[in-house]
Structure 1
Amino acid sequence: MKTLLITGFEPFGGEKVNPALEAIKKLQGYPIEGAKIVTCSVPVVHQKSVNTVIDAIKRYKPDFVMTVGQAAGRAAITPERVAINVDDYRIPDNEGNQVIDEPVAANAPDAYFSTLPIKAMVKAMQDKGIPAQISNTAGTYVCNHLFYGIQHYLHDSNIRHGFVHIPLMSEQSIDGSNPTLSLDLIVEGLAEAAQAIVTNDIDINYGAGAIS
Structure 2
Amino acid sequence: MTVLLTGYEPFGDDDENPTQTLAEELDGETVGDHEIVGRVLPVEYAVAADEMATLVTDYDPEVIVSTGLAAGRSAISVERVGINVNDHGGVADNAGAEPRDEPIDVDDADAYLSTLPVVSVVESLLGAGIPARVSNTAGTHLCNNILYSTRSLVEREELEIPVGFVHVPLTPAMAAEKASEGEATAGGAVKASLPLELQKRAVELTFETTLDG
Q: State the aligned residue count.
A: 199
Identity %: 35
Which residue does 1:210 correspond to in 2?
A: none
Instruction: Name the amino acid aligned to 1:191.
Output: E
Per-residue deviation, 1:63? 1.4
Paired residues of 1:40 and 1:53 also in contact (CA < 8 A): no
Q: Is the 8 A contact 2:63 2:207 kept in 1?
A: no
Quick check: 1:60 aligned with 2:59?
Answer: yes
Shift of 1:35: 1.8
| Structure number with bigger Rg | 2
Over aligned residue pairs, what C-alpha RMSD do you find? 1.1
Offset of residue 173 of structure 1: 1.4
Corresponding residue of 1:44:
43
Structure 1 unmatched ranges of 5 or more: 201-212
Matched, 1:100 2:100: yes
Post-superposition offset of 1:47: 2.5
| Structure 2 residue 34 is the aligned partner of structure 1 residue 35 | yes
- Tell me if the contact between 1:9 and 1:42 (Cα under 8 Å) persists in the aligned partners: yes
TM-score (norm: length of structure 1): 0.91
Partner of 1:161: 163
Inter-partner Cα distance in structure 1 for 2:9 and 2:194: 18
Tell me, yes or no, if the aligned pair for 1:20 and 1:70 is still in contact at 8 Å. yes
More helix by share: 2
Runs of 4+ in 1 over 2 A off after TM superposition: none
Over residues 83-107 of structure 1, what are the superposed CA-to-partner deviations in whole Å (9 max), with x where a residue is unaligned? Answer: 0001111111000000001101111
**How far, CA to CA, are the matches of 2:129 and 2:121 in structure 1?**
13
Give SS of 1:79's match. strand
CA contact 1:34–1:198 (8 Å) conserved in 2: no
Give the CA deviation at 1:55.
Answer: 0.9
> Counterpart amino acid of 2:203?
L
State the match for 1:147 in structure 2.
147
Give the deviation of 1:177 after TM superposition: 2.6
Matched, 1:196 2:209: yes
Deviations 1:125-161 (A, max 9, x none): 1111000110000001111111111111111321111
Specify the code of the residue in structure 1 equivalent to 2:11: F
The secondary structure found in structure 2 opposite 1:143 is helix
Retained in 2: the 8 A contact 1:35–1:198? no
Residue in 2 aligned with 1:135? 135
Partner of 2:4: 5
Over residues 166-203 of structure 1, what are the superposed CA-to-partner deviations in whole Å (9 max), with x where a residue is unaligned?
Answer: 11111111115310011111111111111111111xxx
Partner Cα separation in structure 2 for residue 39 and residue 57 of structure 1: 12
Whole-angstrom distance in 2 between the partners of 1:31 and 1:40? 15
CA contact (8 A) 2:126 2:132 kept: yes
- Give 1:29 deviation, angstroms: 2.2
For residues 8-27 of structure 1, the aligned pairs below 5 Å read 8-27=7-26
